[in-house]
Amino acid sequence: MDLPSTKPYLIRAIHQWCSDNGFTPYLAVAVDARTRVPREHVRDGQIVLNVGYDATAQLSIANDYISFQARFGGVARDISIPVGNVSAIYARENGAGMAFEPESAATAGTSGGATGSQEDDGDPPTPTPPAGRAKLQRVK
């Protein structure tokens, strides 16, 4: 029997830890067709997003999807990210956080939130926090 993923719980915990300690939580996300983000900000199949309470509205970190509104170039955008696509959550200020293996589209659920046509070209490299401050822990 497959156990439920601990990933959304760990994401919520690191997000809360960042918020409680005055750090800015950043999410690194592998972008595919199920990911609703501004495509003009996607680089090498991934995007890094500020998910602090000051930068988001209506933030929801559920077990399957992370959703919120954020401004890009002054324009409010609806963001929707499958939890399986999160490759890291970390504090911008010191790089402390946690890295994950992004799930492939074949193993992740395919319902909801699909927009755009960005193709998934495999697992992107895990994003690195600011130079000299890498403190991410990889979780599978």
pLDDT tens digits for range 90-109: 999 999 999 998 776 544 44
| Domains of the chain by residue range | 7-122+129-139
Rounded-to-integer distance, Cα 128 and Cα 140, Å: 17
CATH architecture assignment, domain 7-122+129-139: Roll (2.30)
pLDDT tens digits for 18-50?
A: 999 999 999 999 999 999 999 999 999 999 999
Q: What is the pLDDT of residue 1?
A: 76
Residues 117, 127: Cα–Cα separation, whole Å:
22
The pLDDT, as a whole number, for residue 113 is: 31
Instruction: Give the pLDDT confidence of 55-77 residue by residue, as tens digits.
Output: 999 999 999 999 999 999 999 99
**Three-state SS at 86:** strand
Segment 2-9 shows an average pLDDT of 92
pLDDT at site 131: 38
- Show Cβ contacts of residue 130 under 8 Å, excluding neighbours closer than 6 positions: 92, 95
Q: What is the pLDDT of residues 106-139, one digit of tens each?
A: 444 433 333 332 333 333 334 444 433 445 555 4
